Structures are given as C-alpha cells and as structure tokens.
Amino acid sequence: MIEEAAALLARAERVVAFTGAGMSAESGVPTFRDALTGLWERYDPARLATPEAFEADPGLVWAWYESRRAQVERAEPHPGHHAIARTAATVITQNVDDLHERAGSTDPVHLHGSLFAPRCSRCRKPAATPVGPPSDGERIAPPRCTACGAPIRPGVVWFGESLPETAFAAALDAASGCDLMLVVGTSAIVQPAAEIPHVAARRGTPVVQVNPRPTPLDPIATVNLHGPAAEILPALIGGTT
C-alpha cells in the first residue's frame, strides 16, 4: 500500500494535506475525541466547545483552553509534521495548535481557528495571547476586552458557529486545485470541514489517507494507510526531521 501511495505522490505536482487531531497525537496533544484526563476528566469536550458553555461558565471554558495552550506550547512537531512541510504546497488543518507552522509549513489554513488568537466575545477585537503558562485551576477568569470590557474568548470555532469565510474558501480552492490530497488523522465527522476531501475526490483527484482506524473517508480514499502519522508520513515522504 505504501508503495502505491508513494508512486501517486511521486507523480503529483501539487499536494494538499488535510489534517485533524490525530496529526498531533504523537506530539503529546490528545485528540479531540480522546477522553480528557486530570482536572478535566469529568468533562466532555463536545460540551465545552460551545458558545453556550462559555456563556454559562466563562472561567471554566477559558481555563480549559489555557491548559490546552500550555500543553501545545510544551509540545514539538514530530517527523510527520516535518514530512508534510516538505511535500504539501498547502496544509488545511482542523487543528487549533501551531505544530504545522513550527515544522515549517507556510500559512496553514486553520479551519477551526487557533489557540493563539484570542478575541473579544462581543466586539471581536483581537486580544493578546496571555504570556507564559496559565495558573493551574479549574476556573480562570478570562481577561476583559480593552475596547468594550466584555470577556475575551478563545479564537476557535465552536459547534454551531460558522467557519472563517476566507479560510473555508481557501480550503475549497486548494482542494479543487490539487493533484493529490493527503488526509491525516481526522475522524472526518465534523461538518463542513469533512466535506473537503470529497471536493478533491469528486474531481477524480487521488486521496491518500493516513489513520490507524477506519473513517467515513475509507471508501473514497484511493489508498488507506493504517498506522500512526509520525511513522507512516516519513516512510511515505522520506526524511526524519
């Protein structure tokens, strides 16, 4: 299978990578659907990642994102991130970490925002990312907007919210203009992002998927490589750092 995928890759001139939380798992960033641990084990991520949760308990939601920011700041990109940086013209990611950037990918398209782009929950004015690790705790009062005084919120896309228009348009463009799509580490169940690989597949573009587990994309993938990103991607693309 890996030889078949490598042959497709060798023929491709414009590779686009579409990544999800599994891409960062081996860097020590848990996937979205992994059970939470420690302080957060009582909570369901799908219930915390909503505007309603932030409205009801801003300190709880802000503290959760602050602990995740600290976790990502401690993490390093792995050889799979570096392999993608060498081969993909565009990276479209659902991840809110910055590991693709730190591996050298230029301007990844962040469909679900970023842990490093907090903004006002009312007037949307960008706010500074807090400096240093957050104080530990189950609740941390979010900072206040310097313009209007409303609480600052994480710059991510929660359930029920629209994706940033320019990012989604850029993702559709990249998916329509590539000649190979590499899909890595996503359960492909969250819409509308999960539609992106279908855009490529409908045009007859080969799709190579890397995931240890089956996903709803298996039937449209030209090749399914069942294994972890940090091992499969360097083997497929070459190089280790």
Distance between CA 63 and CA 59 in Å, rounded? Answer: 6
Facing residues of 224 across strands? 209
Q: Which CB atom, from 26 or from 98, has the smaller least distance to ligand BJW?
A: 26
Is 100 an annotated catalytic residue?
Answer: no
Please report which residue ranges of the chain form alpha helices under DSSP H: 2-11, 22-25, 45-48, 51-56, 58-74, 79-87, 99-103, 165-177, 196-202, 229-237
Residue nearest to ligand BJW (CB): 22
| Residues numbered 132-171 forming contacts with ligand BJW, rule: CB under 6 A | 156-157, 159-162
Distance between CA 121 and CA 149 in Å, rounded? Answer: 10
Identify the residue among 228, 234, 236, 237 touching ligand BJW (CB under 6 A): 228
Q: Considering the complex, what minimum distance in angstroms separates the CB of residue 13 from ligand BJW?
A: 25
Gyration radius of the chain over CA positions = 18
| Contact criterion met (CB below 8 Å) for 144 and 130 | no
- Of 81, 110, 112, 226, which one is the catalytic site residue? 112
Q: Select from ligand BJW, Zn ion, none the partner in contact with residue 148, using the beta carbon and a kind-dependent cut-off of 5 to 8 Å.
A: Zn ion
209 binds ligand BJW (CB under 6 A): no
Distances (CA, A) of 195 to 85, 157, 216: 23, 16, 11
Q: Which CB atom, from 115 or from 178, has the smaller least distance to ligand BJW?
A: 115
For tokens 């940086």, the residue is: 85
Phi, psi of 45 (to 5 degrees): -55, -35
37 binds ligand BJW (CB under 6 A): no
| Residues numbered 85-104 forming contacts with ligand BJW, rule: CB under 6 A | 94, 96
| Contact criterion met (CB below 8 Å) for 130 and 66 | yes
Q: Select from Zn ion, ligand BJW, none the partner in contact with residue 124, using the beta carbon and a kind-dependent cut-off of 5 to 8 Å.
A: none
Q: Considering the complex, what minimum distance in angstroms separates the CB of residue 123 from Zn ion?
A: 3
Beta-carbon contacts of 153 under 8 Å, excluding residues fewer than 6 positions away, are: 54, 58, 61, 62, 118, 119, 120, 121, 142
Q: Considering the complex, what minimum distance in angstroms separates the CB of residue 174 from Zn ion?
A: 32
Q: Considering the complex, what minimum distance in angstroms separates the CB of residue 112 from ligand BJW?
A: 4
178 alpha carbon, distance to own chain's centre: 20
229 binds ligand BJW (CB under 6 A): yes
191 binds ligand BJW (CB under 6 A): yes
Q: Select from ligand BJW, Zn ion, none the partner in contact with residue 228, using the beta carbon and a kind-dependent cut-off of 5 to 8 Å.
A: ligand BJW
Q: Which residues belong to the active site?
A: 112
Contacts with ligand BJW, residue ranges (CB under 6 A): 20-22, 25-26, 31-33, 49, 94, 96, 112, 156-157, 159-162, 184-187, 189-192, 210-213, 215, 228-229
